[in-house]
Structures are given as structure tokens and as C-alpha cells.
Amino acid sequence: MAAPSRNTCGLMERSVRERVPPLLTDLYQFTMAYAYWRAGRHQEPAVFELFFRDNPFGGGFSLFAGLHDCLLFLRSFRFSDEDVEFLRSVLPPATDPAFFQFLRGLDCSGVTVRSVPEGTVVFARVPLMEVAGPLAVVQLLETSLLCLVNYASLVCSNAARFRLAAGPRRKLLEMGLRRAQGPDGGLTASRYTHIGGFDLTSNVQAGFLFGIPVAGTMAHSYVTSFTSLEEVWPQTLVAVNGDPEPVDVISLTKSWLSRVCELLGAEPEKIREGELAAFLSYAVAYPQNFLPVIDSYSVGCSGLLNFCAVALALCELGHRPVGVRLDSGDLCKQSVDVRRVFRLCREHFSIPAFDSLIIVGTNNISEQSLAELNKKENEISVVGVGTHLVTCTKQPSLGCVYKLVEVRGRPRMKISEDPEKSTVPGRKAVYRLVDADGHPFLDLLCLTVEPPPEAGLPLSCYPQGCDNSAVSVTPAQVTCLRQEVFTKGQITQSLCSAAETRAKVQSSLQALHPRHKRLQEPDSYTVALSEKLHNLITEIQRGSSHGSNFLLAN
Amino acid sequence: MAAPSRNTCGLMERSVRERVPPLLTDLYQFTMAYAYWRAGRHQEPAVFELFFRDNPFGGGFSLFAGLHDCLLFLRSFRFSDEDVEFLRSVLPPATDPAFFQFLRGLDCSGVTVRSVPEGTVVFARVPLMEVAGPLAVVQLLETSLLCLVNYASLVCSNAARFRLAAGPRRKLLEMGLRRAQGPDGGLTASRYTHIGGFDLTSNVQAGFLFGIPVAGTMAHSYVTSFTSLEEVWPQTLVAVNGDPEPVDVISLTKSWLSRVCELLGAEPEKIREGELAAFLSYAVAYPQNFLPVIDSYSVGCSGLLNFCAVALALCELGHRPVGVRLDSGDLCKQSVDVRRVFRLCREHFSIPAFDSLIIVGTNNISEQSLAELNKKENEISVVGVGTHLVTCTKQPSLGCVYKLVEVRGRPRMKISEDPEKSTVPGRKAVYRLVDADGHPFLDLLCLTVEPPPEAGLPLSCYPQGCDNSAVSVTPAQVTCLRQEVFTKGQITQSLCSAAETRAKVQSSLQALHPRHKRLQEPDSYTVALSEKLHNLITEIQRGSSHGSNFLLAN
């Protein structure tokens, strides 16, 4: 059941403002902002970079998502009087009152953001967003931007992995709302799993807000709420394009059920009357959308037989049943059994519609169980995924960080005792180098002052995470990975719809070489530093080891 | 830094209405509601139960949370015209238009909820909430209630485990906003980890909305943004209760730094001037709240020395430095080293304030690493936890379910081929049996028609998950675990503040016997069925195996 796409940009901006008020951040952003303000440094031009340090799920790539909401957040970033009053109550009493006036007047009119487009395949240690502006302001944005990018990118990447595991043809349904981190977690999951490659969601609000097609029919509670055929109402149905006289569907279904039992050699006394009543009631309500869950009791002894009986009755009246859902046990084996029964019915009763019945599988599906589906014989055409998708069981956090790389035009670097936590200094340009087959093979970080690499010309660079040796590469194509998306308080790129971003994900994944796309033990993608950037780091580290000896200078 | 508590009930109800609109649910709730309506069954009295099947994190208990939001959700549950129009566009075209009028008029005035109080220690397979009302309405509530309870209870339980691992004295700071499932996930995490036993949060909005004390001082970016002492401004500070003449803090600090280096035999040329400038700037801005992160470069060679110098200067001027934060490496070992240096300074320079400096540790803390802290020598008095706390890495979903147990006064049961997925039928009362020492030892599920167990009298019951044998127990006390919290559209218990629920958590945990509270391999707590309930199940299962043979009946 497809939802119409809606123009909901205004709605979403309001929603971002409500979901991400400027106080939704860590306190230390304010204490630092005050210290900068007090030292008169708050207006100094500063540059932060947002990136993650490891590709998620032990994979070879990630997807970048959340930019859309970041931009709406930046555009509406402003403190209300109430916000400022609260901050006044929280910061130490000695805080200069003029600082709160400064906060009251703050906005992002001085901020410029360069970013990878939303939905792009990205790699660890590549700066995805560059946020430049007055030091105090860009510092204040940290937590909110991380919060908006981290989970969106993670769950989008997770969805893409499920999509790769499922293969291109199987339909994927997201149904994780009840297992997400609260209401907004659930909504965010629906939105970004669709972008990552899921076809459908069970979440109606996600359909409403983002135009994602919604799907769903019935739960076990519906089935178990019925006990007898007396509860079926109305008990008649009118045939399509035929006799306008209503037909007694209970008698019709019971006669089909007898024939099905006979055909399959089933024991009629094991069939649950309540289940048949539930199916029949649903079929009467939705004669064109009949897709019951058939394992509330026993698939083989009851659910499948009841389904066939109701579906055959519907077919006789010219309606078209849709299929069944399996929600427990060995989905592959059961789906094969179910399909065999469908074929038997189709042949024995000459009902061609039984050829196109679909089988939906939903039972705690993980990326691994989905990958296994592809190895075993099965007849499942739609897979519903909840918990493992939305909670990202395999790795529940992406770990994006936001690091200072330049202040007042001077490169800044964190030289940690833990080399993993050191940062790459300086304001950068990021280029994606593509080979002759159209596959990206290297992301190059340069200083912005450097000329861009040229297609067809060899260049020397320093792959990260290797020893300190240079390699020479010759790209067939070069693309600049980031674009300016926000400046002077305005969003400078048109915001993409979920559908556009979803298409971007697919094309970006398509271009990626299978060796990087492999879900297990992928080849690692090279991220390299230009010679100039490499030299800058060496220089800073050398300077650092010398120290400044300021103690003696005075 | 403590935030004042606020009366934010109206604000929170509005927020719940916005966060949990009635469309934020699975589509099948609507398709089922329509099928009920079409069959004239939508007003039939029905009862659902909400419970989880396994205690989270391999532990012996869980905490129940999310009720407050559930009640606000129920009170405001109503479809707008826009909601209904969207549903019309999503449901099959043949859906009777009168159904949408029915939806438009729906509310929870016919719903009654009995629930365990928020913040109570609870166990797997105990029905936590009973939701009774018109079949179609109580079905429609399923996903939203699950979504509100699942993560709240999970993260609250996770926080309680961290609290147990940390011991009662250590302060715990939640700082997971940037790693949560989006903004609302982060806010929910802050709220329920506080309830579960955390003392502080970094999340300012959580302080604003829930009155949770907020904390935080500086990030590494603040430290690395400074390069030289010239950036310190103002360069003077006035002494407390002394000479009103401003003192040159740069000279003062440098002289202290020389003395510290001499005392510790440190090499002055390894000290980072930028770090000292950052500390000094912060100290000038917050002379009473000085708590820098000291591992941006090297704790032993630079950060600790710089801290001591600034702190000694502050002390000389009558201010009181607070402490340091360690954010990488072996926190235990470093904290011991840091404390030793504090003691040396205290003795050598006769500065008593150095005795009360605190050490904050924050470095990817998990429940396990926190438990290990207690086994090793360390001097950490405040621990900050982010990712592992809010994403509940060990088990990112609680798996609450919502199952139908009665329709029209008749018990309903799902008899699955997977016995784990079978349900316990009938409307129940739940009693907690307490031993003579005040420890709960058994939760008893009875049918509501049964008389409650009496203190001091032996009773026979059937523990779940065991073989089918009865045991006899004699409670010293009996409490009825659930109370009516919602009826006729109204909340019938006063809503608890976060602080009240937090206290409830602590007293509920206090009463729990250590053998159930153990984080590793706890004894499993007994949940048992009354004899009558046990017999009912046997009866239904027997009836089910006979089948109704309705095929022959007509």
C-alpha cells in the first residue's frame, strides 16, 4: 500500500526545531563558549571537521546521512529567552551577564558548511563535513550535528548491508518502531533505512512525513481474538464482475476447506476454527488485500489450510488474494512447503492466481540470517526486519567525532599518546579518485591551497594507516567530494527528498567495487594524504617534540 | 552544576503529543482495526498485557519505565482530520468511509490501564501493564506503548547495572547524546539513565526539561585551539577576600609551573604552552569551576603539570580548583599517578585544597570496565559514560510484547509451536511475595477472580519455565504489584517526577536480594502461576488438541 509523496519541508523544519532545540547539546559547549567569549576569542575564524574512525559493522564502507536535518538545524539555530534564562541558572553565578546577551543574538549567519552529499558512500577518516565560522558558534554546534549524523548514517549503512545481503529483487520491509530508541528513534530508523535501500515501512507516521510506502496486515492477536465462525460478519461477499447477489462466504469457504483437506490429506479436526474466522473476517473486509499471518497455531495443520480455503473462495468470487506471512520457525523450509501447497492447489483446482501469491517472512531477521536465506532454497519474496535493523545490533553506534583543524588560518592538530586519536590538521579539499572502470579507488585529502589532482596524471600520496611510505597513483577521473551546502545562514543546495537520496545511495553503491562492498572481510579502501598535508603533519609533530620552552622565554 | 527542578508537566504532555502522534504506529493496527470494525467487533471488551520474555543483559531483573509517557500518550490519543485523510490515502480504496468517521471520534475514554509503578524492579514474563478497553482501540495502542516502554525500561535497567557496578559512592555522569538514536533517543537516554541511578548528565535540554543536574567543562578542541599564552585574556585575576588589585596570573602561573617542574623533576621543554594557555583562560573565566581535560597531549609530561600550576595559582588567590578529567589510556593507573602528584603538591606547598581535588574518568566506559575499576586501585571519583550506556551495547533492545489475553470475558491464548512464544491467557492479578527479611522471592500470577494470597499462609503454585510440578511457598508479606493508573480517559495516579521515580528505583533495588541483583550469573527469580491459572492453560491446551471439528458441524 503506497503512500503519496508529500511536500513536507516546512513541517520537517518545524519538526527539527522542536526535536533539536539549541539546548540539546552537552553543557561543556557552553562553558567553552563562555571561556572563548571571555578571552575575546569567540569571533576567531575556526574550522571543525566531522568524521568517523572505523567503517561500521566490520565492513568496507559507510553511507553518509543526516545532512538534510543538519541544514535545517543550522538554519533555525537560535536561543530563546527561556533557553538563555535556563543557561543562566546552570552556568556558574560569576558568569558575565553580557555573555547571555551574546548568546541571545547568536545564529549561524557566520557559518559555512562544506559537505559530502547525503547518501554518498564514504570511508573512515575522510572528513565528511567541514564547519567553518566563529569559534564559539562552531563549537556550540558540535553535539547536535554529531547526534543528527551518527545514527542516521549508521542505520542507513545497516540498511544498505541488509539490502546487499538480500540481493536486489527481494522486497525489504522495515518494522522496527517498537524496538527503537523511543518514538523519534523509530521515525529516524524508518526514514534512513528507506534511504539505505528498504522498500517499505510499517511505520505510518514515516509514510505521512516522508512518503515512504507503508505495509502491514495483521498480528497474531487479531487471529487469536476470534474463536468461532459466528464472529464473521458480514457473512457474505459479492463477486467481482458477476452475479450481484451476495454469496455466503462461510459455506463457500468451508466447502473449499474440505476440498483442500482432501487434496492434502490433512486432518480436519486439527484445524482452528478461530483462525479460519479471523482470516475470513479479514478477507471480507479486504477482499483484494488478503495476506494473513499463518503461524498463530500451526502452519501445516491449520494456518496454511485455512489460508488456501479463504483464498480459493476469494478467487472463485473474482478477487485476488495477496499471500501469507510466516513469523516463526524455519522460514526457508516452511516457505518451500507453502509454495508446494500453492502449486498443488493451482494445478488441482486450476486457479492461476495461486502462482503469484507472495510469501512474507518475519522472524528476528539479522543481516546474517538474511544472507543465509540466499544460500538455502526458499520462496520468500518479502522480508520484514525489525530489531536487528533499527538497533544495529552488530554495532549500535557509529562514533562520529568533530575535531578542530584550524583557528585563525593556522592548522590545529591533536597529538594524542593514542595515535588513533590524533587528528589531521588544516583546512582540506577531499577528492575521490576513480579508476578506468568507474570504480572509486582512493580518497585524497589535500590542503585547500593545493591544486586538485588531474585525471590521467600520476600523483604521489601517503595512504593512511600504512607506514610512512608514498605511493604513486593515476586516476582516470577525479571528483571533488564535498560541496558548499550552507553559508551566511542559508542552505545553498536544494534539499533532496528521501526518494532522491535513496537513488543517490543506490548509484553510489553501484559504483563501488565489489571488493569494497563485500559484507565479510572486504578489501580496505585507501584514504591518503597529499604530500603537502603529510609534510605539514611531520612538521607539526617535529615542532611539538621540540617544545616551545616558554618557561625560560620570560 | 545543578539545574533547578521545573514544573514541566504541560510541556511534557505537549511534547509527548508531538513525539508520539497516533500515526506513529504500525499500519497493521489500522488494517486490523478496520477488520474488527467491519465485523462489528470493535467495541468488544478486550484485554492486552505488556511484558518481556527475558531479563535484559543476561541479568536477573529489569526496571520498568516509560509509564509516565504512556499515560500522557493515552490522555491525548486522538486523530486529527489530517491523520484520518492520510489513513484514507493509505488503506485500500474499498475501505468503508464510515470507518474514518469512527477513527475521527476515537479516544481512550473506554480504556483502563493497570500497571506496575514506574521505577519498579520487574522480571521476565510478568505482565507489567494490562490495557483493557474496546478491542479496536486497545489494538491501536500496541506499537506506541511498546515504543515508549521498551527503550525507557532497557536504558533505565542498563543505568541501574552501571550503578551497581560502580558502587554507591562514585558519581556517574551520562554523556551519550551524540551516540544515541537521534535527538529524542538522546533525551530519552538522559532521562531514564538518571532515573536508573546516574547522578549527572551532559545534556542541557535534559536539565531544562527534567531538572537533572548537568555537568561538563571542556573538550580537547578547546585545549588545541590555543597555541600561546598571548591568547590568554584577561591576564589578571582578583584574589578572593584579599587585595583588590588584580594579579598577573600568567607570571604567577609560570612561577608555579617552574616550582612544580622542579618538585617533580619534569622537563620544562616538554610542556605545551597552548595547553597552559587553554587552562589559564578557562581558570580566568571560571576560577571556582576549574576542571580541565588533561590528556590532550601527555598527562605526565604536560597536562598534569599545567593543571597543578594553574590550580596552585588559583589557590594562592583564594579560589578553589575542582579537579581534572582523564579521557584516554589506563584510567586507573593514571588516576593513581595523578593523585600521587596532588599529594606531593599538597605537602610540599602546604595547599590543603589539593586534598579534595576530584578525578573524572571518561574513556569508552562499559559495564565491564566499570566493574573492573572497582577491582583495581584507582582514584576516580566521577565516571562519565556515553556509548555503552545509551546504545545498550550488550543488548540493544528489550523485546517487550503486547499480547491479547481476553476478549468478551473469555480468556485468549496463543498456542505457538514455539513454546517460548505461547502466552498465558486470562485477566490476571499479580502479587509479589516477600520473605521474612523483606526480600521479594516470587511473583505470582493469578486470575482476577481468585482471592489474593495471604501473608503467613502457605500456597501452592507452578513456577514458570520449570517442569509442570507445583511448589508450596509461604510469604511473609504480599503486595499487589499493579495499580489502576488510567480509566475513563483520565490518569488516576499522580504522575511522578523523575526524582520520585529515581528514588523508587533505589528502594526497589535495595529490597531485591543480592543473589538476584548480581550482575553476572544471578539466581533466577521465580515467576509462578496460581493453580487455577495453571489449570486454565491445561484446559485450553487440551481443548485445542481436540480441535473443534467445525467442518463436520455444519
Query: Of the ranges A193-202, A365-374, B37-46, B200-209, which one carries the lowest mean pLDDT score?
Result: A365-374
In chain A, % of residues over pLDDT 70: 96
CATH 3.20.140.10 fits A9-157+395-547, yes or no: yes
**pLDDT value for A468:** 79
pLDDT tens column, B359-380: 999 999 999 999 988 889 999 9
**pLDDT value for A541:** 85
Element (H, E) at B87: helix B81-90
CA angle B255, B259, B264 (to 5 degrees): 145
pLDDT-based confidence at residue A414 (cuts at 50, 70, 90): confident
User: Closest to A26 (Cβ–Cβ): which among B1, B203, B228?
Assistant: B203
Give the Cα separation of A75 and A455 in Å (integer).
37
A173 to chain B, any CB pair closer than 8 A? The answer is: no
Cα distance from A435 to chain B (closest Cα, Å)?
Answer: 35
**pLDDT value for B5:** 42
pLDDT-based confidence at residue B554 (cuts at 50, 70, 90): very low
Give the Cα separation of A348 and A261 in Å (integer).
13
Pairing type for strands A129-134 and A45-51 reads antiparallel
3-state SS track over B116-178: CCCCCEECCCCCCEEEEEEHHHHHHCHHHHHHHHHHHHHHHHHHHHHHHHHCCCCEEEECCHH
Select the residue from B11, B19, B23, B27 to test the A interface by mutation, using most A Cβ atoms within 10 A: B27
* Pick from B307, B306, B314, B305: nearest CA to B291: B307
**pLDDT value for A17:** 84
B80 CB contacts (<8 Å, ≥6 apart)?
none
Is the pLDDT reported for residue B551 higher than 80? no
Is the pLDDT reported for residue B303 higher than 50? yes
The better pLDDT of the pair B436, A373 is held by B436
**pLDDT value for B285:** 96
Taking contacts as CB-CB distances below 8 angstroms, the residues of chain A near B295 are 416-417
Q: What is the mean pLDDT of residues B34-47?
A: 97
Peptide bond into B234 cis (omega under 30): yes
**pLDDT value for B549:** 60
A101 CB contacts (<8 Å, ≥6 apart)?
none
With contact defined as beta carbons under 8 Å apart, do A330 and A298 qualify? no
pLDDT tens column, A194-239: 999 999 999 999 999 999 999 999 999 999 999 999 999 999 999 9
Is the pLDDT reported for residue A5 higher than 60? no
Query: Of the ranges A25-34, A356-365, B544-553, which one carries the lowest mean pLDDT score?
Result: B544-553
Q: Using CA atoms of B151, B154, B158, B163 in order, give the dihedral in degrees to the nearest 10.
A: 100
pLDDT-based confidence at residue A1 (cuts at 50, 70, 90): very low
Cα distance from A32 to chain B (closest Cα, Å)?
Answer: 6
Q: What's the CATH number of domain A160-390, 3.20.20.70, 3.40.640.10, 3.30.70.330, 3.40.50.300?
A: 3.20.20.70
pLDDT-based confidence at residue B552 (cuts at 50, 70, 90): low
pLDDT-based confidence at residue B6 (cuts at 50, 70, 90): very low
Taking contacts as CB-CB distances below 8 angstroms, the residues of chain A near B303 are none
CATH 3.20.140.10 fits B9-159+395-508+515-553, yes or no: yes
Mean pLDDT of chain B: 93
A437 class by beta-carbon count within 10 Å (0-12 exposed, 13-18 middle, 19+ buried): exposed
**pLDDT value for A129:** 98
A541 to chain B, any CB pair closer than 8 A? The answer is: no
**pLDDT value for A546:** 52
CATH 3.20.20 fits B217-361, yes or no: yes
pLDDT-based confidence at residue B7 (cuts at 50, 70, 90): very low
Query: Phi first, then psi: what are they for A382, rounded to 5°?
Result: -130, 130
Element (H, E) at A95: none
Query: Phi first, then psi: what are they for B306, rounded to 5°?
Result: -60, -45
pLDDT tens column, A350-398: 999 999 999 999 999 999 999 988 889 999 999 999 999 999 999 999 9
Q: Does B48 sit within 8 Å of A221, measured CB to CB?
A: yes
Give the Cα separation of A65 and A54 in Å (integer).
16
Query: Phi first, then psi: what are they for B301, rounded to 5°?
Result: -90, -20
* Pick from A222, A185, A220: nearest CA to A206: A185
Render A397-443 in DSSP notation, one character per residue: ----EEEEEEETTEE-----SSGGG----S-EEEEEEE-TTS-EEEE
Comparing alpha-carbon positions, the chain A residue that sits nearest to B49 is A221
pLDDT-based confidence at residue A241 (cuts at 50, 70, 90): confident
* Pick from A198, A197, A174, A195: nearest CA to A186: A174
Q: Does B1 sit within 8 Å of A92, measured CB to CB?
A: yes
The better pLDDT of the pair B2, A290 is held by A290
Q: Does A179 sit within 8 Å of B397, measured CB to CB?
A: yes
* Pick from B359, B376, B366, B388: nearest CA to B171: B359
Q: Does A183 sit within 8 Å of B25, measured CB to CB?
A: no
Is the pLDDT reported for residue B447 higher than 60? yes
Interhelix angle A304-316/A249-264, nearest 10 degrees: 130
Query: Of the ranges A372-386, A535-549, B267-281, which one carries the lowest mean pLDDT score?
Result: A535-549
Q: Does A25 sit within 8 Å of B203, measured CB to CB?
A: yes
Terminal Cα-to-Cα distance of chain A (whole angstroms)? 76
Segments in A203-302 forming alpha helices (H): 204-210, 220-224, 249-264, 273-285
* Strand stretches in B160-242, DSSP E: 171-174, 200-201, 236-237
Cα distance from B550 to chain A (closest Cα, Å)?
Answer: 7
Amino acid at B517: K
Is the pLDDT reported for residue B317 higher than 70? yes
A305 CB contacts (<8 Å, ≥6 apart)?
A257, A260, A261, A264, A266, A271
Q: What is the mean pLDDT of residues B402-415?
A: 92
pLDDT tens column, B233-255: 999 999 998 788 999 999 999 99
Q: What is the mean pLDDT of residues A57-79?
A: 97
Q: What is the mean pLDDT of residues A432-442?
A: 98
Largest interatomic CA distance in chain B: 104
Taking contacts as CB-CB distances below 8 angstroms, the residues of chain A near B207 are 27, 86, 90
**pLDDT value for B416:** 72
Q: Does A392 sit within 8 Å of B271, measured CB to CB?
A: no
Taking contacts as CB-CB distances below 8 angstroms, the residues of chain A near B186 are 24, 147
Is the pLDDT reported for residue B10 higher than 90? no
Alpha carbon B137 to chain centroid, angstroms: 29
Instruction: Record the cell numbers describing residue B184, joined without a space.
Output: 529524542
Radius of gyration of chain A (CA): 29
**pLDDT value for A16:** 85
A33 class by beta-carbon count within 10 Å (0-12 exposed, 13-18 middle, 19+ buried): buried
**pLDDT value for B446:** 97
B180 to chain A, any CB pair closer than 8 A? The answer is: yes
A337 class by beta-carbon count within 10 Å (0-12 exposed, 13-18 middle, 19+ buried): middle
Distances from the Cα of B42 to the Cα of A173, A231, B150, angstroms: 28, 12, 27
Mean pLDDT of chain A: 93
Q: Does A392 sit within 8 Å of B182, measured CB to CB?
A: no
B102 to chain A, any CB pair closer than 8 A? The answer is: no
Q: What is the mean pLDDT of residues A260-280?
A: 96
Give the Cα separation of B40 and B52 in Å (integer).
31
Taking contacts as CB-CB distances below 8 angstroms, the residues of chain B near A547 are 269-272
With contact defined as beta carbons under 8 Å apart, do B463 and B471 qualify? yes
Q: Does B214 sit within 8 Å of A27, measured CB to CB?
A: yes
User: Within the 214-273 window of chain B, which residues sit less than 8 Å (CB to CB) from chain A?
Assistant: 214-222, 224-225, 227-229, 231-234, 251, 254, 257-258, 261, 268-273
Sequence ranges of chain B with CATH classification 3.20.20: 217-361
* Pick from A428, A533, A542, A464: nearest CA to A129: A428
**pLDDT value for B546:** 52
Q: Edge-to-edge strands of the sheet including B428-434?
A: B471-473, B459-463, B526-530, B440-447, B428-434, B477-480
User: Within the 364-393 window of chain B, which residues sit less than 8 Å (CB to CB) from chain A?
Assistant: 387, 390-393
Amino acid at A300: G
* Pick from A209, A343, A324: nearest CA to A264: A343
- C-alpha dihedral sign at A27, A30, A33, A39: negative
Sequence ranges of chain B with CATH classification 3.20.140.10: 9-159+395-508+515-553
Q: What is the mean pLDDT of residues A303-321?
A: 97
Judged by DSSP in three states, A490 sits in strand
Q: Does A182 sit within 8 Å of B32, measured CB to CB?
A: no
With contact defined as beta carbons under 8 Å apart, do A187 and A205 qualify? yes
B340 to chain A, any CB pair closer than 8 A? The answer is: no
pLDDT tens column, B461-479: 999 987 779 999 999 999 9
Give the Cα separation of A263 and A512 in Å (integer).
51
* Strand stretches in A218-355, DSSP E: 236-237, 247-248, 323-326
Q: What is the mean pLDDT of residues B502-516?
A: 97
Q: Does B547 sit within 8 Å of A28, measured CB to CB?
A: no
Q: Does B18 sit within 8 Å of A551, measured CB to CB?
A: no
Cα distance from A398 to chain B (closest Cα, Å)?
Answer: 7
Distances from the Cα of B206 to the Cα of A551, B188, B294, B481, angstroms: 43, 8, 27, 30
User: Closest to A28 (Cβ–Cβ): which among B202, B224, B273?
Assistant: B202
Q: Does A205 sit within 8 Å of B25, measured CB to CB?
A: yes
Distances from the Cα of A180 to the Cα of A136, A301, B182, B209, angstroms: 34, 35, 10, 22
User: Closest to B25 (Cβ–Cβ): which among A185, A188, A204?
Assistant: A204
Is the pLDDT reported for residue B547 higher than 60? no
B4 to chain A, any CB pair closer than 8 A? The answer is: yes
Within a 10 A sphere around the Cβ of B96, how many other Cβ atoms? 13
- C-alpha dihedral sign at B293, B298, B299, B305: negative
The better pLDDT of the pair A475, B8 is held by A475
Query: Phi first, then psi: what are they for B253, rounded to 5°?
Result: -65, -40
**pLDDT value for A545:** 59
Amino acid at A461: C
**pLDDT value for A549:** 60
CA angle A64, A69, A72 (to 5 degrees): 140
pLDDT-based confidence at residue A189 (cuts at 50, 70, 90): very high
B310 to chain A, any CB pair closer than 8 A? The answer is: no
Q: What is the mean pLDDT of residues B291-318?
A: 96
Give the Cα separation of A498 and A12 in Å (integer).
12
User: Closest to A182 (Cβ–Cβ): which among B89, B179, B184?
Assistant: B184
DSSP B283: H
A79 to chain B, any CB pair closer than 8 A? The answer is: no
